[in-house]
């Protein structure tokens, strides 16, 4: 269902990609980026609803998101699903799996999505010559860890309204880094997916959105959100929003 897109010499590459200051090449010199580029030999298109990878699969690559968005989720033995994150352009999918050779989670496209494929063996081969790449991989892994910790804190100590406020503020921050409006955006995931991610039911999420709207913190219509009072939301969330 995924469509492979081999990269020809004249395809657009990392060095000309708008996202190269967010994605894997963060912090690399122009020269390092051009050396790194050869690691990325192809792209994949994943239609909405399809999987980029599933838990247990051999993990021989990590994926930089070019356009679109993904959710990652875990399933336990009894079939329960826990959404562990939403990934936006410039962010990297498959980091947890890459560390141990097979995927730990299941990544599904929330909309038609395109990712750049960086094969692990290529990375290892090239990393010897690009110290900043090793460093960047460590940094990304650490970020992933922090995200996971943040989620633990959110699920462990925050109340539902705080979790949802933190979620909105976090989305706003990440979207604004991508150059989108930090106050007005479209949620690519359903109420159910948000709820699952935050350890709430879809009804609770819906009710909270309605309440936030009533309190003039946001305006919301289906998946279009407008944050009317970001400071108040930030305050509600308890300042740090991962």
Partner DNA sequence: CGGCCCGTTGACTTACATCAAGATGAGTGG
Partner DNA sequence: CCACTCATCTTGATGTAAGTCAACGGGCCG
Residues that bind a copy of itself (CB under 8 A): 74, 76-78, 80-82, 84, 96, 99-100, 104-105, 138-139, 141-146, 148-149, 151-153, 155-157, 196, 199, 238-240
Position 51 contacts DNA (CB under 7 A): no
Helix (H/G/I), strand (E/B), else coil: 177: helix
224 φ, ψ (degrees, to nearest 5): -90, 120
For every residue of 121-147, DSSP letters joined together read HHHHHHHTT-HHHHHHHHHHHHHHHHH
What's the token pair of residue 140? 């990304």
Q: Is the separation of the CB atoms in 119 and 39 below 8 Å?
A: yes
Position 192 contacts DNA (CB under 7 A): yes
Given the structure tokens 């690519």, which residue do they identify? Answer: 188
3-state helix, strand, coil in the chain (%, to 5): 40, 25, 35
Separation in Å, CA 125 to CA 32, 80, 122: 14, 39, 5
Pick the closer one to a copy of itself by CB: 105 or 170. 105
Position 238 contacts DNA (CB under 7 A): no
Position 206 contacts DNA (CB under 7 A): yes
| From the list DNA, a copy of itself, none, partner contacted by residue 204 (C-beta under 5 to 8 A by kind) | DNA
Pick the closer one to DNA by CB: 99 or 202. 202
Position 222 contacts DNA (CB under 7 A): yes
Query: At closest approach, how far in Å is the CB of 73 from a copy of itself?
Result: 10
Position 202 contacts DNA (CB under 7 A): yes
| Chosen residue from 210, 215, 216, 226 binding DNA by CB under 7 A | 210
- For DNA, the binding residues in 144-183 under the rule CB under 7 A are 159-161
| Chosen residue from 34, 51, 135, 190 binding DNA by CB under 7 A | 190
DSSP state of 154: H
Angstrom distance (rounded) from CA 121 to CA 127 = 10
User: Rule CB under 7 A: which residues touch DNA?
Assistant: 159-161, 190-192, 195, 199-207, 209-210, 220-223
């Amino acid at each position: 269902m995924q469509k492979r897109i081999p990269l020809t010499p004249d395809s657009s590459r990392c060095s000309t990609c708008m996202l190269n200051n967010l994605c894997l090449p963060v912090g690399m010199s122009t020269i390092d980026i051009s050396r790194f580029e050869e690691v990325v030999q192809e792209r994949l298109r994943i239609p909405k609803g399809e999987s980029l990878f599933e838990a247990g699969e051999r993990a021989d690559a990590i994926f930089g998101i070019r356009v679109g968005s993904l959710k990652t989720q875990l399933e336990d033995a009894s079939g329960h699903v826990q959404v562990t994150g939403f990934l936006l352009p410039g962010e990297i999918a498959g980091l947890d799996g890459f560390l141990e050779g097979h995927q730990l989670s299941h990544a599904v496209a929330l909309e038609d999505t395109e990712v750049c494929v960086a094969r692990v063996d290529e990375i290892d081969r090239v990393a010897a010559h690009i110290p900043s790449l090793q460093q960047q991989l460590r940094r990304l892994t650490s970020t992933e860890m922090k995200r996971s910790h943040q989620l633990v804190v959110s699920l462990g100590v925050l109340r539902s309204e705080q979790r949802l406020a933190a979620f909105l503020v976090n989305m706003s921050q990440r979207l604004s880094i991508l150059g989108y409006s930090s106050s007005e955006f479209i949620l690519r995931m359903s109420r159910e997916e948000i709820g699952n991610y935050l350890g709430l039911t879809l009804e609770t999420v819906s009710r909270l959105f309605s309440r936030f709207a009533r309190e003039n913190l946001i305006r919301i219509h289906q998946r279009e959100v407008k944050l009317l009072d970001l400071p108040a939301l930030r305050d509600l969330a308890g300042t740090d929003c991962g």
